Amino acid sequence: MLTLYNSQGAPAYPLTVSNACITHKFDGYDTLQFVIPIESKDYPNIAEEIRVRTDDNLFIIKSIDEHSDESVIDCSLDLDDWKQNFYPEFRRTDSTLSSLLEEIKPVNWSITGAQIAPGRKTVEASEGNPIINTTPYFLLGRLSEVFGVVFQFDCVNKSLHVIDPTLYEASGEYLTDELNLKSIGFNGDSSDFVTRIYPYGKEGLTIASVNDGKEYLDDHSYSNRVISVGWKDERYTIAENLKAAAQKKLTELAFPSRSYECSVVDLAKSNPEYTFLAFSIYKVVTLIDRRRKTRINHQIVEYKEYPLSPEKNVVTLSSS
């Protein structure tokens, strides 16, 4: 059920719409879209920047696409609190994710899960240069990139939760056209495929001292060919940290980028007997592709959820 807020920002009344869809995105910035008839009694109260609440989160109307008899309404998460403060310059060195989030978070928000990203990093625009004219909202994106994490936002309870998607492992859910898979679209791309990486940090730092004298890392899990690439990131001043980052990057590059868009019968939403097949963003599920005769684990990187019509749900899977 959707609840429409008034122009003063307070909950007003239930909103009756069709085709409401919540898109759970990999980076955590979920969206809400719904269709409302122009003749609806609620339509005059629909306007940009009005808040709409779902069962689990709070959104703001950002786009109204009106047609002859109905309008398509697009909403983004209500993250205005993160856009209030302003930093003419922002640069922090040798800092933990926990300390940085505590520094920039709005006073009425809480942070959980930040300890999942250990270590200290430098947050800056480029080596020695601060990020200029920025807000906490923009800095969240930079922190996500630097620490290799994503964020989930609970805008109702004003809570940010830190997630490392790489820590998810296959948990037993599966997709098969014999049970819960209605249709499948496939996309494969190996244009960035490599099996060997030569990483370099600040001032020519290499990984040789912590890698048996070799300046490169190999990953032949997909192919035994040697395909090399160089990679430089001057944020790294410690060989061990550079090696860990390079190994993570190579793991992504050493396998073709493959994604599937799957229209699913979301059985767990309609039948309690199938709770073991529940889907959610970041879960690693097993896709049984009978056409290609493969059974491969893929991570859910996007999940379109239709709360009132779970038979329309769509999951996007990726091996990268």
Per-residue pLDDT of the chain (320 residues; tens, 9 = 90+): 899 998 888 888 899 887 899 999 999 999 999 999 999 999 999 999 999 999 999 999 999 999 889 999 999 999 999 999 999 999 999 999 999 999 999 999 999 999 999 888 899 988 789 999 999 999 999 999 999 999 999 999 999 999 999 898 887 877 776 666 767 777 888 889 999 999 999 899 999 999 999 999 999 988 999 999 999 988 788 899 899 989 989 988 988 887 777 777 665 666 666 565 677 899 888 887 777 677 778 888 999 998 888 778 888 888 65
* Cα angle value 136/141/146 (rounded, 5°): 115
Instruction: Tell me, letter by letter, the H, E, C secondary structure of 111-142.
Output: EECHHHCCCCEEECCECCECEEEECHHHHHHH
Q: What is the pLDDT of residue 235?
A: 79
Model-level pTM?
0.80
Tokens representing 227 are 């395909």
Can you tell me the distance from the alpha carbon of 49 to that of 67, in angstroms, rounded to the nearest whole number?
20
